[in-house]
Amino acid sequence: MGRRRIFVAGHMGMVGRALCRLLQALPTVDLVTATRDELDLTDQSAVQQFFRRQQIDEVYLAAAKVGGIWANNQYPADFIYQNLMIECNLIQAAHLADVQKLLFLGSSCIYPKLSPQPIPESALLTGPLEPTNEPYAIAKIAGIKLCESYNRQYGRDYRSVMPTNLYGPDDNFHPLHSHVIPALIGKFSKAIKEQAPSISIWGTGNVRREFMHVDDLAQACLHLMETEQAQYWQGLDPMNSHINIGTGRDCSIRELAELLQELSGYAGQLYYDASQPEGTPVKRLDVTRLKNKGFVSSIELKAGLSQTWDWYKCNHHV
């Protein structure tokens, strides 16, 4: 195989950085990236000019506007507009530049709020979405259908993957805009520093979530992109072609908080604030398709959280 120019869109985010770490280590890959100042992904003309100049062979579409429950609730228009523009511009520009291979990264929030557990890919579009992140979810569903439509009409090999809840180095640790693991890590760190007697955690602690280390996700993405076309598409429905990426294991938020308490050494009390939103009651992905394509998650939650806590302490001056 000759050298490939691979564009990672969203290379400054947690997922993009993990993909770049992995791809940079491959001797046959020339990595292509662009900062937000260099390329506005919501600008159709700029994106198309970028693709014409760069002679790209493959695309990993990890760029997105992301956030937790609070951010999704506060900025629904921003979440649907920006995500739609990013994926429409990148997928169309890739097609116009004759890029044959592309991987679109979505989110497990595309599934109905009350999906069967674990959630199979066939659950897509079978019921109402979780209201707190519906605009974001609709944008991600549109991305899947964009890929399927370009495959059907133009014979492209545009693949879609739906990761479960992710965590790891370079996550967003903003106290309001972050997801549950970085939010909790920030809370534990602050409580230890301030010697706070207790920590308040949103929700009852009873909802269950699946968590995957971002380096595990990057390995899964590379594995799926490197899978030969005929083997990859074998057994997939062209109208329901996305693949879940997860560990197949979940835990309660209470169990997660207690594990982080153990790892951080925080000695105070945990208080669960049931007046705060906590989203869908259970969410775990069916990863049968992923396993059938030859990939199984390898980073256990405790080991991944320990590594993430250590990274946070080193990089956030704890």
Which residues are known to be catalytic? 136
Q: How many CB atoms lie within 10 A of CB 189?
A: 18
Calculate the alpha carbon distances from 313 to 14, 188, 196, 307 in Å.
17, 11, 18, 10
Q: How far apart are CA 65 and CA 46, in angstroms?
A: 19
Q: How many CA atoms lie within 13 A of 260 on its CB side?
A: 28
Angle at 25 between CA 244 and CA 16, to 5 degrees: 45
Give all strands of the β-sheet with 251-252 in edge-to-edge order.
251-252, 208-209, 282-283
Distance CA 94, CA 47 (A): 9
DSSP per residue, 83-102: HHHHHHHHHHHHHHTT--EE
